[in-house]
Chains A and B, each alone.
Chain A
Amino acid sequence: MRSLMTAATGMQAQQLNVEVISNNLANMNTTGFKRQRAEFQDLLYQNVQQMGTASSDAGTIVPTGIQVGLGVQTASIYRITEQGSLTNTGNPFDLAINGDGYFRIQMPNGSDAFTRAGSFAVSPQGEIVTADGYTVAPGIVIPQGARSVAINEQGQVQALLDGQTNPQTVGQLELSTFNNEAGLEAIGNNLFLESAASGSAATGTPSSPGYGYVMQGFVEASNVNAVTEITSLIQAQRAYEMNARVITASDEMMSATSNLR
């Protein structure tokens, strides 16, 4: 019976759906997290009776045919990169991007990673780094003895040094954008890597056309919406149960046959 395997694909798909939803819910409070969506599509079809084949010598053809579907498969798990809400923290090294773009992070192995989670800090050497201590490109050093640091919407970093009245520009932040943001490869820790699907990074200054602007003292919250996630969870659970019922019913049909005396 195909229906057993078909229902099994349905249960697997709904299980994956629940896994994606639970990851979204688990990351509801993760800075810069972008929710994901499992997308399904029907699996292949088996032609029991091919449509369009001749059904008589007079040239009539089978009008509809019989194509029996074999279940469901996962097309993709798509990351929805819409803007998360901005939360005020007051911390001068919390930077949120309003609009398009990613901060470029220099990984310890020399490669580049990208992130929207801008809860940064200052290293012992005075450099602006991520929570893991990785340098935020292009590597801005805050001079020792800076009384305050101001970062404007254009990404200019200005430090007010002790004994001076005018702030001094110490660096310029940059943002990277991609043709297909959803194609970035997530590596955990809020970091993404460039991939063949995302296209290569285009680097520019914040607030220039096509780039978002930087907001100091804010972090970008995750864009997970608890209400939609919970309703999706309910749908997934019910769909899972219905597929389980199909398996039970198919089993009963087979047992009706095998119990023939």
Chain B
Amino acid sequence: MDNTLMIGLSRQMALRQAMDVVANNIANANTAGFKVESLLIDNETAPTAQQDDGPTNLQFVEAWGMGRDFRQGELNVTGRPLDVGIEGQGFFAVTVNGAEQYTRDGRFRLDQTGQLTAHDGAPVLDAASRAPIMLNPSAQATTITDNGTVMQDGVAMGTIGVFEVANLAGLSKQGNGRYVQTDNSDGRNEPQAALSPVMHQGFVEASNVQPIIEMTDMMTIMRSYQSVSKFIEQAEDISRRAVERLGQV
């Protein structure tokens, strides 16, 4: 009988985690470049929890990974010259403390020296040289072509790099909309500059959270949780009645 409670509990633990993930998705519904996530739940066979009177092994519920949906978010027009949205795969690269980080958030700006940076001052990297891009702040017009070349008054100042990551699952989230590549011990998964990236000036990629799906997920999680509570209650009821009846004998 204890197993019933433990299986129910394992399901509830997984559902709570799934709820945390849904809450994070909804909280980031307005975060540019955010990619929606879901918890991958599977049954876990537990050899130690064998039922004495039943021949089968018991299956517990366990979360085993996170699924990230890297699908394109909507490109929203802002008209700001230094807002850049990527169409298709790939990430912008910035350097933080000498290490490369990757992001889909293309709301760039100039710092006090005229360097193209992200909101926290991390320099955005050039496609070929992987070095920061210096712009002329007093230029009349800044145009960013579809392949990322930054043109100022007719002069190419650099090319905003879009880097493709071989193993998306190896990206670790840092917060701030940034990822770092963790699965790169042998250099095989080093992100490479995309050959023909497509980006759009004056656009920002919105998060790809779909509110309806998240709200439905949330309701499902909540109701499943409640129904598990119900069966835990019933399991306890059975054991209570068993004790009562045994007492009458």
Contact = CB atoms under 8 A, between A and B. Distances in A.
A180 B119 contact: no
A41 B175 contact: yes
Contacts of A187: none
A41 B66 contact: no
A80 interface: yes
Interface stretch (A86-94, A105-113, A121-129, A235-243): A235-243
B169 A63 contact: yes
Interface in A37-52: 37, 39-45, 48-49, 51-52
A245 interface: yes
B95 to A, nearest CB: 17
B19 interface: yes
B182 A51 contact: yes
A76 B11 CA distance: 39
Interface centre among A14, A64, A259 (most CB of B within 10 A): A64
Contacts of B88: none
A41 B31 contact: yes
Contacts of B21: 68-69
Interface residues of B, number: 66
Nearest to B240: A261
B16 interface: yes
A7 interface: yes
A21 B80 CA distance: 17
A63 B65 CA distance: 8
Contact of B23 (A63, A71, A178, A196): A71
Interface stretch (A137-145, A146-154, A161-169, A250-258): A250-258
Interface in B116-156: 119-120, 137-140
Given A64-B169, A75-B120, A179-B137, A13 B27 contact: yes
B183 A51 contact: yes
B113 interface: yes
Interface in B51-70: 63-67
A235 B26 CA distance: 12
B22 A3 contact: yes
Interface stretch (A25-33, A197-205, A214-222): A197-205
A10 B19 contact: no
A35 B126 CA distance: 30
Nearest to A183: B112
Interface stretch (B42-50, B193-201, B217-225): B217-225
A1 B20 contact: yes
Given A67-B173, A68-B20, A178-B137, A243 B27 contact: yes
Interface in A168-185: 177-180, 182-183
A82 interface: yes
A180 B137 contact: yes
Interface centre among A17, A178, A246 (most CB of B within 10 A): A246
A252 B16 CA distance: 12
B222 A253 contact: yes
A260 B229 contact: yes
B30 A13 contact: yes
A41 B79 CA distance: 20
Given A196-B112, A199-B112, A249-B219, A243 B26 contact: yes
21 contacts: A1-B16, A10-B29, A41-B177, A44-B175, A48-B17, A48-B63, A51-B169, A51-B172, A63-B169, A64-B67, A66-B17, A67-B173, A78-B107, A100-B138, A197-B112, A198-B112, A199-B137, A249-B219, A250-B23, A256-B225, A260-B236
Interface of B: 12, 15-17, 19-24, 26-32, 34, 37, 39-40, 63-67, 78-80, 105, 107, 109-114, 119-120, 137-140, 169-170, 172-177, 182-183, 211, 214-215, 218-219, 221-222, 225-226, 229, 232-233, 236
Of all A-B residue pairs in the complex, the 9 with the closest CB atoms, nearest first, are A10-B27, A210-B138, A199-B112, A3-B23, A69-B24, A64-B65, A6-B23, A256-B229, A44-B175
